[in-house]
Structure 1
Amino acid sequence: MICRDVATSNCEDIKSTLESAKKRNVILIVGRTTIEYIGRAASESILADRLVIIKPDGSLLIHEATKVEPFNWQPPRSIINFECINDKLRLKSIRLNPHEEVLVDFDYIDFIKICNISTTKLRIIGRESDVVSMIMNNVALIDKDSSIIGIDIPTPYGKIDILLKRSDGTFIVVEVKNEKAGVPAVIQLKRYVEFYKSKGYNVIGILIANDITDDAYSILMKEGFKFVNLSSIITKPRDMGKLDKFLKT
């Protein structure tokens, strides 16, 4: 990331610099401001020190010292312009539909930075497919004596996420959920296990999820299945060793 400082001594120079930078860069301004909102309602803020963030997609975020949510904001595709009023900077953000305006008047500017910040996609860790891939790459996480039969194994009741087999012929059915598991998840696992038991196999059932409801856990224990806390696996990748230490029994 490359940022550059903008001199704050001359309003017309600031305006020119910000106008040329707003479509390609993120602009950070810290200063003493008043804010006026005109739209479906109306509001005014008192003079106070704030952080103003302008993004090249037209987003405007105004933050104070606390809270995650901005003190005031405008969404992407808003039109942002700068002007000088009595040699002091004004930022005007206009949202077209519905029509809304936010006027930010700077009484004093502490600093301005123009930054070239990337736009990327977030890779989510902990999706069901991520957990399946992790186990596929290291079956010993489930059982050191097991080998992979396959993933997405079709049955009359749906597809089994992971099916393993021990050297003694015992099947291990693994059901993965990236949410809090309820009774339906346990019933689904139970159907898979009973399907293979009906074919004469000895079968173990394991449910992996972020959490589990009390009702679901009661059924899980009654059926003799095991529960693995997904968050424990994802957040402790280097020292997790065998999954047995995360099993709730």
Structure 2
Amino acid sequence: MSCGFRGEVRTWSSTDCSSVARFLPAGPQGRTVTVVDEGLRLETSQHPDHETARDVVSEAIEAGALVTVVGRCTVDYEGRASSTLGPGERLVMLKPDGAALVHTDEGQQPVNWQPPDCEHEATLVDGRLLVESHRETPEEHLAVSFESVLEVSAYGLTDERDLSLEGTEEDLRQRILDDPTLIETGFVPLATERQTPAGAVDIYGEDGDGRAVAVELKRRRVGPDAVGQLGRYVDAMDRDLHADTDVRGILVAPSVTDRASRLLAERGLEFVPLTPTGAAECDT
């Protein structure tokens, strides 16, 4: 395996790697190339000058690597809308598939992003690192201008595995859609994510007597909050449907707390125990 990342060590084969990472000095800037088992390569530079950071990013993009840049920057987006983020310390990630993400130190969602199939570029403008991500259809442009760079890294990652999800609410939903008798004999699912003024009901259907049924799915042991949520859906559907009979509410989960069980009885709601495939019951 070889990779054109910048540094004193430029190519190697996976047979050259020991089972323990080796750290090799990469020149006068104090850059480091890390070689690990199975040919995975990391090049990282802490507190680089802007020219060095530009070179690392540019060569990593050319090599098809995943790039991260951490530093104080401003962010400008032009496209379907426009936005500007003032100076702040952020993490910028450029993926080989063309996706770009800008993260702060809060939350799981990026504050700015570009989808796959964008073109990435790193340049110097007035001596400062400028990282850009652009796509033509639709026309969108993300520009990140760095005041200072704390760290820049490039990773030669490969991942040929598909994500396999087990024990999710989606698994519960699919099991019920495949076999509605898991709820009860005669139950007929009519819609998923049915919108109500109180939110979306996981599964909406009818029982054997034609009564409307709202089914709320939870993948783990639940307490009073889940009962309250189901109750709000039932109340909203009662108002929305103007039915002659009350809407039934059924909570589906591996188990419920004692307090939740009492609330279900008080509200006239029902419980069906069901555990997602491959999931162990969780009491928290």
3-state DSSP of counterpart to 2:248: helix
Match of 2:76 among 15, 22, 36: 36
Superposed, 1:39-118 pairs within 5 Å as 39-115=79-155, 116=157, 118=159
Aligned residue for 1:228? 272
Q: Note if contact 1:81-1:91 (Cα within 8 Å) is conserved in structure 2.
A: yes
Aligned residue for 1:237? 280
Deviations 1:198-241 (A, max 9, x none): xxxxxxxxxx97267752348xx9xxxx84243xx23962689x
Mind listing any 5+ residue stretches in structure 2 that lack a counterpart?
A: 1-39, 193-200, 219-229, 235-246, 251-264
Kindly state the Cα deviation for residue 32 of structure 1 after the two structures are TM-superposed.
0.3
Give, in whole Å, the separation in 1 of the partners of 2:186 and 2:56: 58
Superposed, 1:168-187 pairs within 5 Å as 180-182=202-204, 184=205, 186-187=207-208
Q: Tell me which amino acid in the other structure corresponds to 1:186.
A: D
Q: Tell me which amino acid in the other structure corresponds to 1:228.
A: V
Structure with more of its chain in strand, by fraction: 1
Q: Given the superposition, is the C-alpha separation of residues 210 and 79 from structure 1 closer, same or farther in structure 2, using an over 3 Å criterion?
A: same
Q: Given the superposition, is the C-alpha separation of residues 130 and 106 from structure 1 closer, same or farther in structure 2, using an over 3 Å criterion?
A: same
Match of 1:216 among 234, 248, 262: 248
Name the TM-score, length of structure 2 as normaliser.
Answer: 0.50
Q: Tell me which amino acid in the other structure corresponds to 2:248.
A: A
Rg comparison, structure with higher value:
1
Aligned residues: 182
Give, in whole Å, the separation in 2 of the partners of 1:61 and 1:119: 21
Deviations 1:152-197 (A, max 9, x none): 8xxxxxx7768xxxxxxxxx96979898344x3533xx79xxxxxx
Kindly state the Cα deviation for residue 47 of structure 1 after the two structures are TM-superposed.
1.4
Superposed, 1:120-135 pairs within 5 Å as 120-124=161-165, 125-126=167-168, 127=171
3-state DSSP of counterpart to 2:86: coil
Give, in whole Å, the separation in 2 of the partners of 1:238 and 1:40: 44
Q: Given the superposition, is the C-alpha separation of residues 119 and 227 from structure 1 closer, same or farther in structure 2, using an over 3 Å criterion?
A: same
3-state DSSP of counterpart to 1:47: strand
Q: Note if contact 2:133-2:141 (Cα within 8 Å) is conserved in structure 1.
A: yes
Q: Note if contact 1:27-1:112 (Cα within 8 Å) is conserved in structure 2.
A: yes
Q: Note if contact 1:7-1:14 (Cα within 8 Å) is conserved in structure 2.
A: no
Q: Note if contact 1:181-1:216 (Cα within 8 Å) is conserved in structure 2.
A: no
Q: Tell me which amino acid in the other structure corresponds to 2:113.
A: W
Q: Note if contact 1:6-1:114 (Cα within 8 Å) is conserved in structure 2.
A: no
Q: Given the superposition, is the C-alpha separation of residues 26 and 92 from structure 1 closer, same or farther in structure 2, using an over 3 Å criterion?
A: same
Q: Note if contact 1:32-1:107 (Cα within 8 Å) is conserved in structure 2.
A: yes
Q: Report whether the alignment pairs 1:9 with 2:48.
A: yes
Instruction: Answer with 29-38 or 61-70: which moved more.
Output: 61-70
Name the TM-score, length of structure 1 as normaliser.
Answer: 0.56
How much identity, in percent, do the aligned residues show? 22
Give, in whole Å, the separation in 1 of the partners of 2:84 and 2:175: 49
